[in-house]
A = this chain, B = another copy of it.
Amino acid sequence: MKFKTQDIAGMLGGTVEGDANAEIWTLCKIEEGTPGGISFLANPKYTHYIYDTQATAVVVSNEFTPEHPIPTTLIRVKDPYLAFASLLEAYGKMQQQSLQGVSSLAFVSPTATMGDGCYVGEFAVIADGAKIGKNVKIFPQTYVGNGATVGDDTILYAGVKIYGGMSIGNRCILHSGCVVGADGFGFAPKPDGTWDKIPQIGNVVVEDDVEIGANTCIDRSTMGSTVVHKNAKIDNLCQVAHNVVIGNNTAMASQSGVAGSSKIGSNCILAGQVGIVGHIEVGDRVTIAAQSGVTNDVPSDSVVLGSPATDARKQKRNMVIMRNLDKIEARIRELEKKLK
């Protein structure tokens, strides 16, 4: 879809300086501007790019005063960053809204139900008794198992797998290859060294406005529910084990894992590759540094670091000493010499 610069200026409540009929069909960075693209200039550090950008138009501040001639069309607004962010959002929504209708190559069970405005791509499976809300976008090759529910306006990208009986909220985004509802890793040792599988018959409840990254796994609980509360954001390749609870607004960066039955509070931040052992409780507003290994309960409002993780300030001091352990050793040697 193409827009004229004057249409975009209208959307943004701005004014055009240059070619009001120039056509725009994409968004770009000012330093990587392309014909047909619109960019923005908010940070003065990037000002020099505007004099030779290939972008067709650039959103700038009303106050911006060029020092050289500018080849591109300008759209002047009050706050270029906010204006561009709203363009980004509109662009993203536009791309999703065009998806409509159920492909004749999908399989939708006659006992499944589906709201209006849904898209179901080729080779997707909506199994018996599944309940799909309104405006749900289900990309090709996605699987929604028996009796699973998916709320309104949720997007399931290609190849998402949702086991039977799982529950996904409204306005969620699940990326390709994520798996919701595989069995928790529960086995009881037998006297002969083999294992008895502990049946995992609970489910997963993903509440509203949750995003789940590509190839992330959220296991069903043994009984009861594994829960991801509202607005939690989980990155790619994360592991959320059985009976875990992830609090509201908590963000979990890539390759982090939470072992069975642990509870993470709300508004926490887990940086990348964090590990959290089973059966512990992490409070609210806790920040856990990358690659940390959390082995004990963590009180609310803490910042922890290290493996095993402890108070970040203390740990950072220790790390400085650790990095210079050879000097510690040298000082001891010196003392030993003197004492002789």
**Which B residues lie within 8 Å of A177 (CB)?**
161, 177, 179, 215, 217
**Which B residues lie within 8 Å of A195 (CB)?**
231, 233, 249, 251
| Stoichiometry (number of copies) | 3
Are B251 and A259 in contact (CB-based, < 8 A)? no
Q: Is the interface of A mostly helix, strand, loop or mixed?
A: loop
**Which B residues lie within 8 Å of A295 (CB)?**
290
Alpha-carbon distance between A316 and B259 when the two chains are bound, in angstroms:
21
- Residue ID in chain B nearest A269 by CB atoms: B189
Shortest beta-carbon distance from A315 to chain B in Å: 8
Shortest beta-carbon distance from A188 to chain B in Å: 8
Are B332 and A223 in contact (CB-based, < 8 A)? no
**Which B residues lie within 8 Å of A237 (CB)?**
215, 217, 237, 239, 257
Alpha-carbon distance between A195 and B267 when the two chains are bound, in angstroms:
10
Alpha-carbon distance between A254 and B278 when the two chains are bound, in angstroms:
12
Is A325 in contact with chain B by the CB < 8 A criterion?
Answer: yes
Contact with B along A239-259 (1 / 0, CB 8 A): 101000000110101110101
Are A332 and B335 in contact (CB-based, < 8 A)? yes
**Which B residues lie within 8 Å of A255 (CB)?**
239, 255, 257, 275
CB-CB contacts below 8 Å: A132-162 with B: 139-141, 143, 145, 157-159, 161
Is A328 in contact with chain B by the CB < 8 A criterion?
Answer: yes
Contact with B along A217-241 (1 / 0, CB 8 A): 1010001100000010101110101
**Which B residues lie within 8 Å of A239 (CB)?**
235-237, 254-255, 272
Contacts A27-B201, A161-B177, A193-B266; A233 near B187 (Cβ below 8 A): yes
Is A91 in contact with chain B by the CB < 8 A criterion?
Answer: yes
Contacts A293-B291, A314-B326; A253 near B249 (Cβ below 8 A): no
Are A254 and B257 in contact (CB-based, < 8 A)? yes
**Which B residues lie within 8 Å of A179 (CB)?**
159, 175-177, 214-215, 236
Alpha-carbon distance between A163 and B157 when the two chains are bound, in angstroms:
9
Contact with B along A254-295 (1 / 0, CB 8 A): 110101000000110000110101000000000000110101
Of B29, B143, B328, the residue contacting A329 (CB under 8 A) is B328
Task: Tally A residues with Cβ within 8 Å of B.
Answer: 99
- The segment from A7-15, A69-77, A119-127 that touches chain B is A119-127
Is A45 in contact with chain B by the CB < 8 A criterion?
Answer: no
Is A213 in contact with chain B by the CB < 8 A criterion?
Answer: yes
Is A207 in contact with chain B by the CB < 8 A criterion?
Answer: no
**Which B residues lie within 8 Å of A173 (CB)?**
183, 197
- CB-defined A-B contacts under 8 Å, sample of 26: A28-B224, A32-B223, A88-B201, A92-B200, A107-B122, A107-B140, A121-B125, A122-B123, A125-B158, A158-B161, A161-B177, A173-B183, A179-B236, A193-B249, A213-B217, A215-B237, A217-B254, A235-B239, A237-B239, A255-B255, A259-B272, A273-B275, A310-B323, A314-B323, A318-B322, A332-B332
* Known A92-B199, A143-B158, A159-B161; 13 more pairs at CB < 8 Å: A141-B141, A158-B163, A175-B179, A185-B233, A193-B249, A195-B249, A236-B239, A254-B259, A259-B272, A318-B323, A328-B328, A328-B332, A332-B332
